[in-house]
Amino acid sequence: MSIQSPPASSPTLTHARLPRQAPLMVGAVAVAVTAIGLVLGLGSVAAVLIGALVFLVVLPVWSLAVENRRSATDRMMTGLIWATFFVALAPLVSLVWTVVAEGSQALSGTFFTYSFYRTSLDQPVGVYHAIMGTLVITGVAALISVPVGILTAIYLIEYGKKNTFSRVVTFLVDVMTGIPSIVAGLFAFALFTLIFGPGHQSGLGGAVALSLLMIPTVVRATEEMLRLVPDDLREAAYALGTPRWRTIVRVVLPTSVGGIIAGVTLAVARVIGETAPLLLIAGIVQRTNFNPFDGSMTTLPVLIFSERNKGNIEIVWGAALVLMVLVMLLNVIARVLGKILAPKQG
Amino acid sequence: MSTTLTTKEAPAGGDPSPSWISERSGRGDAIFKGLTIAAAALILLALASVFIFLFTQGFAGFTQPAEVYSKYGSSFWGYVWPLLASTIVASLIALIIAVPLAIGIALVITQYAPSWLSTPVAYVIDLLAAVPSVVYGLWAGIYLAPKLVPIYEWLHEHLGFIPLFGDVVSSGRSISTAGLVLAIMILPIITAISREVFSRTPRLHREAALALGATRWEMIRMTVFPYGRSGVISAVMLGLGRALGETMAVVMVLSPGTLFTFNLFSGSNTPSIAANIALRYKERSEGTLEVLIATGLVLFLLTFAINFAARWAVARSERKLAG
Amino acid sequence: MKRTSFRYVVPGVAALALTLSACGAGNEGSSSNGSGNSDAPSAASGLSGELRGAGATSQEKAQEAWATAIQGLNDGNLTVDYQGIGSTDGRGQFIDGATSFAGSDSYLKDEELESARERCNGNVIEVPAYVSPIAIAFNLPGIDSLNLSPAVIADIFNNKITKWNDPAIVADNQGVELPDADISPVHRSDDSGTTKNFTDYLGKAAPDNWSYEAEDAFPVSGGKSQAAEGTSGVVELITNTENTIGYADESQIGDLGTVSVGVGDTFSAPTADGAAKVVAVSTRVEGRDATDMATDVDRTTTEEGAYPVILLSYLIACENYDDDTEAANVKGYLSYIVSDEGQQAAADAAGSAPLSDEVATEAQGIVENISAG
């Protein structure tokens, strides 16, 4: 608003405005109302809601009285739009709080080192077997999907620029992104039932199902990173007589390795919490199983689901906490790696 | 572009390496390229086999004897429509709740929050996407559902004449709770894409609107929304695709029955297709697996169509943005 | 500089994988607790490998106790893996050959028996694992026990009686403060032997009010009813939700209030004695093999103190297995279950009623004939 009206000119160009601190003042009133509500014995949720309502109503009404209708609308929308964020925050806070509060009670030494296998009823149980199962299955899934995903992305970016085959593959990768996880699980379940007979369960089946979900994420992340590699680098390598594949392996990949590892880590984080496919094909056992080719394999998500059904609620919250920490850890690692190893551009 | 000239024999279009390089190291290149093609072909093969497999195995599921379908009906369509209806109702509830929230949050991040705040805000919303669905299901089934019962009761009392707000199940494990959880789960997806398109609104448009004396909200309505509309639509569709296929959050939150009802608070509504598969895969009676695969095929085709439409909308909006 | 990252990552991952696979769970090493126990049948020791079973969720607690005990008897060399997936699916998986034995709350149907004979290449073994009352449990704060006649129970579960202070309920419960609240009946969402026993009871004891067949899947839906998966799912739902009523194996209902059902002119609470009285007057199913102890429960007995809402929980297995180890494991496990010690273990852990001596001896005789080849 750089145009300034001369002080004596027609007053229609400017209008009265609320003081700058108006939102703060109304906010203080709203907080006070919330506090009074709490003192008067309202539930905390109700008190906060009433406080928010006071804020969302008073400021526009005040604005309407002092300013004009347009400003009032603007102030109301500003309040509402900020409110959306806090509304979305509520379930996250509640969920994290519940999981941490309930889950931390289950944690103990044996919780991490024991499995469900017991030889006497008074022994404690732990989730060691489920943690190992989760690591083995996601590890195998990563072993399948990382090479396939990265090589495919290399093909799409470095070789098959826009030819028909690469367009088809790009399209199919899009389709894969949309496969519901239960359908991937059903596919693996039916496939392994067909091959090995009814009731077959194995970690490998789970890994196959997870790979279907993981590959598109890996392809996407790698593609994005390869695109960031400046063509100058490639051309410089070619000019030195470096063969194309060595250029890719020695120049292009190392430049984008940070982003690719970050992308792969995020993809792992995404599938590590998958439940539905593993419920069908990996199953659940009491004992630790390291062999993905033979026998059912317990994973954390499936353990959470099935023990919840059995009512072992303490173990369930503990396992949920472990799973959440695993996922968050992977996310943080991905972020840190992405930042540290990011190609320096410019 | 050279793409139009590419033939099957020629190396992929846009190959910038001059021919003398291939002469010197043709072998290594051929092997490496062969590897990458093999990987791409493997994806093609995998997806083709998923589809063919679901189709051949599921095909038998369309024409089983009536007693196989007896859980929900007497024919395949009688079996699948209540499940489909529940799937769609839960997803619609999720969209109705999530879309306004997601747009609001995207606006907070791109238009309202100062730049030092917008990154953490975006990060917090991304955290919602990181929570495994089984943990959502656990939290919602045990903690959230009972807390919602008073709200449902209130709606039932005051708006009970609308058939949607019928008798309230006392544990709160109804399709409305499932829809709410799905809303929380798809919120980050819709937010992420909306945020992206909103942030691409040309600076000039926005500043022009403000210079004309528009308030911030008017500026958003006049420049950000028209510009981002198709992007938001595709975001909504992607969110819908995710909600349709989500399994655990529904299985762990819904108290399943065998009759579809529009009463959102009922404790005996049919489960969604995905939840039904997770509930019944253990059954070994003749034909059950085929029927489940057939319903999985229906779900797959539905999410495929929706994702396809979403991608198309994205591509269109990208073209529009580029032009 | 960037290239080095790969060099660190690869051996790092390999080393991590090695460390992980090197250490098993802290509790899975060989232990020798319990092996000195001499009460257990001799067939139950010296076993190894894995024994897979699946079925009734009502047996879950008891199976946990039995499996743990026999794992102890075999110094941790044997793993018994029992999945509570419901009686119906358990029988299905057994017939499929996915499991070596099944736990079921209802005996094999005729057509299932046919397929089971094919799967076994011979006789099918069906012996009772334990008898347990099915409690009709409710969650009404401050009320521990209610008297309900079969007709009233049927009307509650088919949504005809919808209020806790309905005159029909009040009439049998003088002096109990019944709330003016909606009744929310809870049933099983999965196919279940408990459901079959319960609906069988309703159909026979209150034929005018309950017109449905005895089925694994609960026939009524809608109204204020809700559903949960498995015995513990039902118990958990009732425990956490006021004004609910449901049915579950009595051994697993915890502190919930229970219904005393009308028998003749009196009301009987769910007790092991009451269940035993009903078993005593029940008759064997006709036309079955000598290895098949399938019994039709008499739901309409008017004997005082009898509690006719019971389930006879069976163990289903083959008389012959191809594999030696499998045969030895099934034989050992089943003979442990029907032994005095096994019955006592289940009674301690799950609160089930031990089999009568007569039944247990017969079952022991059948199980002893399990062989390979």
Name the amino acid, one letter, at A27. G
User: Can you give the pLDDT of all 346 residues of chain A as single tens digits?
Assistant: 445 544 554 445 567 788 888 888 888 888 888 888 888 877 777 888 888 888 888 888 888 888 888 888 998 899 999 999 999 999 999 999 999 999 999 888 888 888 888 888 888 888 999 999 999 999 999 999 999 999 999 999 988 877 899 988 988 888 888 889 999 999 998 888 888 887 788 999 999 999 999 999 999 999 988 998 888 988 999 899 888 888 999 889 988 888 899 899 999 998 999 999 999 999 888 888 888 888 889 999 999 998 888 878 889 999 999 999 999 999 988 888 878 876 655 4
CB contact under 8 A, B15 and A269: no
**What is the set of domains in chain A, with CATH numbers?**
22-105 (no CATH), 128-341 (1.10.3720.10)
- Residue A254: which of C3, C24, C76 has the nearest Cβ? C3
Handedness of CA B62, B63, B68, B73 (dihedral sign): positive
Query: Could you tell me the pLDDT band of residue C30, with boundaries at 50, 70 and 90?
Result: low
Cβ atoms of A172 and B47 within 8 Å: the answer is yes
CB contact under 8 A, C225 and B258: no
Q: Which residues of chain C lie closer than 8 angstroms to B283, CB-CB? A: 88-89, 92, 191
Query: Buried (b) or exposed (e) across B273-298, using 16+ Cβ within 10 A?
Result: bbbbbbbbbbbbeebbbbbbbbbbbb
- Residue A119: which of C2, C5, C68 has the nearest Cβ? C68
Pick from B292, B67, A199: which is nearest to C217 by CA? B67
Closest-CA residue of B relative to C97 is: B284
Cβ atoms of A316 and A324 within 8 Å: the answer is no
* Burial of residue C15, with CB atoms counted within 10 A of its CB: 0-12 exposed, 13-18 middle, 19 or more buried: exposed
A contact residues 235-264, partner B, Cβ 8 Å cutoff: 235, 238, 241, 243-246, 248-249
Cβ atoms of A290 and A128 within 8 Å: the answer is no
Handedness of CA C211, C216, C217, C223 (dihedral sign): positive
E strands, B239-315, in order: none
Pick from A209, A200, A190, A283: which is nearest to B297 by CA? A190
Alpha-helix runs per DSSP H in C23-102:
60-73, 87-96
Mean of the per-residue pLDDT values for chain B? 86
Closest-CA residue of C relative to A118 is: C68
pLDDT value for A5: 47
Which H or E run contains C81?
A: strand C78-84
Closest-CA residue of A relative to B292 is: A186
- Residue A88: which of B105, B246, B293 has the nearest Cβ? B105
CB contact under 8 A, C27 and A123: yes
CB contact under 8 A, C85 and B170: no
Phi, psi angles (nearest 5°) of residue C248: -160, 155
The answer to whether residue C29 scores a pLDDT higher than 90 is no
ipTM comes to 0.88
Interface with chain B: mutation pick from C82, C226, C236, C244, highest number of B CBs within 10 Å: C226
Nearest-neighbour CA in chain A from C54: distance (Å): 11
**Is the Cβ of A342 closer than 8 Å to some Cβ of chain C?**
no
Query: Could you tell me the pLDDT band of residue C4, with boundaries at 50, 70 and 90?
Result: very low
pLDDT value for B268: 86
Pick from A231, A225, A217: which is nearest to A253 by CA? A225
CB contact under 8 A, B53 and A191: yes
C contact residues 15-54, partner B, Cβ 8 Å cutoff: none
- Residue A159: which of B3, B12, B24 has the nearest Cβ? B12
Cα B147 to Cα B138: distance, rounded to the nearest angstrom: 14
Classified by CATH at the fold level, domain B64-322 comes out as MetI-like fold (1.10.3720)
The answer to whether residue C115 scores a pLDDT higher than 50 is yes
Which letter does DSSP use for residue B69 in this model? G
CB contact under 8 A, C26 and A113: yes
**Is the Cβ of A134 closer than 8 Å to some Cβ of chain C?**
no
CB contact under 8 A, C76 and A117: yes
Nearest-neighbour CA in chain A from B40: distance (Å): 5
Interface with chain B: mutation pick from C118, C189, C235, C238, highest number of B CBs within 10 Å: C189
Pick from C107, C62, C67, C120: which is nearest to C327 by CA? C120
Interface with chain A: mutation pick from B37, B135, B173, B312, highest number of A CBs within 10 Å: B135
The answer to whether residue C36 scores a pLDDT higher than 60 is no
Q: Which residues of chain C lie closer than 8 angstroms to A139, CB-CB? A: 17
Cα B19 to Cα A343: distance, rounded to the nearest angstrom: 30
Nearest-neighbour CA in chain B from A324: distance (Å): 7
CB contact under 8 A, C25 and A290: no
**Is the Cβ of A230 closer than 8 Å to some Cβ of chain B?**
no
List the domain boundaries for chain B.
2-58, 64-322
Residues 6+ apart with CB under 8 A from B68: B285, B286, B287, B288, B291
Residues (pLDDT < 50) of chain B are 1-15, 17-23
**What is the set of domains in chain C, with CATH numbers?**
4-132+285-294+313-372 (3.40.190.10), 134-276 (3.40.190.10)
- Residue B303: which of A178, A212, A249 has the nearest Cβ? A178
Residues 6+ apart with CB under 8 A from C18: none
Closest-CA residue of B relative to A176 is: B47
Cα C71 to Cα C27: distance, rounded to the nearest angstrom: 12
The count of C-alpha atoms lying within 13 angstroms of the C-alpha of C79, restricted to the half-sphere facing its C-beta, is 18
**Which chains border B (3 or more CB–CB pairs < 8 Å)?**
A, C
CB contact under 8 A, B40 and A235: no
Cα C120 to Cα A127: distance, rounded to the nearest angstrom: 36
C contact residues 199-258, partner A, Cβ 8 Å cutoff: 229-230, 232-233, 235-236
pLDDT value for B287: 83
Q: Which residues of chain A lie closer than 8 angstroms to C2, CB-CB? A: 254-255, 257-258, 341
Cβ atoms of C187 and C134 within 8 Å: the answer is no
pLDDT value for C330: 93
Mean of the per-residue pLDDT values for chain C? 85
pLDDT value for C199: 94
Chains A–B, number of C-beta pairs less than 8 Å apart: 271
CB contact under 8 A, B247 and A181: yes
Q: Which residues of chain B lie closer than 8 angstroms to A274, CB-CB? A: 132-133
A contact residues 288-317, partner B, Cβ 8 Å cutoff: 301, 304-305, 308, 313, 316-317
**Is the Cβ of A154 closer than 8 Å to some Cβ of chain B?**
yes
**Which chains border A (3 or more CB–CB pairs < 8 Å)?**
B, C
CB contact under 8 A, B167 and C223: yes
pLDDT value for B3: 39
At how many degrees (to 10) do helices A128-154 and B19-62 cross?
130
At how many degrees (to 10) do helices C357-367 and C324-338 cross?
170
Query: Buried (b) or exposed (e) across C134-168, using 16+ Cβ within 10 A?
Result: bbbbbbbeeeeebbbbbbbbbbbbbbebbbbebee
**Is the Cβ of C7 closer than 8 Å to some Cβ of chain A?**
no
SS (H, E, C) chain A: CCCCCCCCCCHHHCCCCCCCCHHHHHHHHHHHHHHHHHHCCCCHHHHHHHHHHHHHHHHHHHHHHHCCHHHHHHHHHHHHHHHHHHHHHHHHHHHHHHHHHHHCCCCCHHHHHCCCCCCCCCCCCCCHHHHHHHHHHHHHHHHHHHHHHHHHHHHHHHHCCCCHHHHHHHHHHHHHHCCCHHHHHHHHHHHHHHHHCCCCCCHHHHHHHHHHHHHHHHHHHHHHHHHHCCHHHHHHHHHCCCCHHHHHHHHHHHHHHHHHHHHHHHHHHHHHCCCHHHHHHCCCCCCCCCCCCCCCCCCHHHHHHHHHHHCCHHHHHHHHHHHHHHHHHHHHHHHHHHHHCCCCCC
Closest-CA residue of C relative to A199 is: C98
Which letter does DSSP use for residue C149 in this model? -
Tens digits of residue pLDDT in C283-338: 888 888 888 899 888 888 888 889 999 988 899 999 999 989 999 999 999 999 99
pLDDT value for B8: 38
Cα C52 to Cα A286: distance, rounded to the nearest angstrom: 11
Residues 6+ apart with CB under 8 A from B75: B66, B69
CB contact under 8 A, A309 and C25: no
Residues 6+ apart with CB under 8 A from A232: none
Cβ atoms of C116 and C94 within 8 Å: the answer is yes
pLDDT value for B14: 45
Tens digits of residue pLDDT in C66-112: 999 999 888 888 999 998 888 888 999 899 888 999 999 889 988 89
Which H or E run contains B321?
A: helix B288-322
CB contact under 8 A, C222 and B171: no
Closest-CA residue of A relative to C348 is: A121
Which H or E run contains C245?
A: strand C244-249
Closest-CA residue of A relative to C231 is: A310
What the block records as the tokens of B307 is 């994702």
**Is the Cβ of C115 closer than 8 Å to some Cβ of chain B?**
no
Which H or E run contains C160?
A: none
CB contact under 8 A, B299 and A182: yes
**Is the Cβ of B114 closer than 8 Å to some Cβ of chain A?**
no
Strands C257-263 and C266-268: antiparallel
**Is the Cβ of C183 closer than 8 Å to some Cβ of chain B?**
no
**Is the Cβ of A123 closer than 8 Å to some Cβ of chain C?**
yes
